[in-house]
Amino acid sequence: MNEKFARAMAGARTNKSVHELAIIAQNTKTGEEASGFSGKLNGQNIGPDTPYFLASATKLFVTALIMQQVEKGQLELTAPATTFFAPGRLDGLHVLNGVDHTSKITVENLLAHTSGLPDYFEQKQPDGSVFAHDILQDKDRSFTVEDVIDMVQGGMKPAFAPSTPGRAFYSDTNYQLLTAIIEKVLGTSFADSVTKNIAIPLGLKNTWVFDIEGPQRQRKIIPLRNGDIQLDIPLVMTGVAGDGGVVSTAADGLVFIRAFFGGGLFSKQLLSQITAQWRRIFFPLQYGTGVMLFRLPRFLSLFQKQPDLIGHSGISGAFLFAEPESQIFISGTVNQLSSRSLPYKIMLPLVAALRE
């Protein structure tokens, strides 16, 4: 194994926040591949085929499904989101300063987080509660996209009007709606859409959408971890679906992210389109159209330009990224919800090791 990669991986394994670790990286220019694993699941060592939750890295699967339908002419990014729901169902979803902007929200707005819609997951609700806080305290609950719509219509405040120039607001509500749109356009469940249009064509044998009642329910998955606490929230993970419910592995993830950027899921022309414009969501992350950009500022890299990482990460510590300039791809998880920066701290030196 690459010596620098091995040293970086050794450092990751000794990080006190890391209990479970699974990472595979590949430089397709040089053909070099490296990996590292740590921890156990049911007494077995974690490895390349050990399933874990992708959390928000799931959003890349939503993007792929949407762009496939765009490519087939079955869907337009400019289509109003309201056309995929019963008449009036979304009324009052986006009310800002007394004006309902819901009808102006497009599929592209949802993908790019430019809708301004409130975030049902991490934004405070009118009663002061925060959905994500309950989850981190291991409080399980069942919910559907209909519940999310009702929740947002119940008085949650939007960030800005749809398509406000230069603005983006990361909201899981967007991807709840996109999940419903996918089901409407494809005429099947989101889970079946992922299986038929992504997992089977790419040969992903250990990738599926989690469902507490689904055919894969007996399979063992690395439990989500918040600090030292393992969370048991199967109802929540069933509900998040398209905004965070895909289960995969480091090995499958590498195949997926290479296909995503290599034209294996939709055309490179469409890839150029969804990565053409970036808007800041939270430092140092920016968002395109269904895809995330990590760009390290020069002042944090001794004023040396660092290549961009494009892909997505999740609250669970899972990540799927490509460094297009160097043709490096990395897939994995640090399985830790308590530190949003942890996957990046671990991932960056691993990518740098394969770049040199």
User: Is the model's pLDDT at 299 over the cut of 70?
Assistant: no
DSSP state of 111: H
Model pLDDT, residue 315: 96
- 71-113 tens-digit pLDDT: 999 999 999 999 999 999 999 999 999 999 999 999 999 999 9
- Tokens at residue 261, please? 């950027």
Report the pLDDT value the prediction gives residue 247, as an integer from 0 to 100: 98
Amino acid at position 186, single letter = L
pLDDT confidence of 216, banded at 50, 70, 90? confident
In a domain, 305, yes or no: no
The domain of 83 spans 65-186
Residue 304 has pLDDT above 70, yes or no: no
Number of H helices, E strands in the chain: 12, 17
Supply the CATH number for residue 105's domain.
3.40.710.10
Structure confidence at residue 232 (pLDDT): 95
Q: How many CB atoms are closer than 10 A to CB 61?
A: 29
Q: Cis before residue 201, ω within 30 degrees of 0?
A: no
User: How many domains, in total, are found in the chain?
Assistant: 1
pLDDT over 90 at 125, yes or no = yes
Residue type, 252: D
CA distance 79 to 104: 10
For residue 300, give the amino acid letter: L
- In this structure, what token pair is assigned to residue 131? 């959905």
Report yes or no on 286 lying in a domain.
no
Beta-carbon contacts of 284 under 8 Å, excluding residues fewer than 6 positions away, are: 294, 295, 296, 297, 300
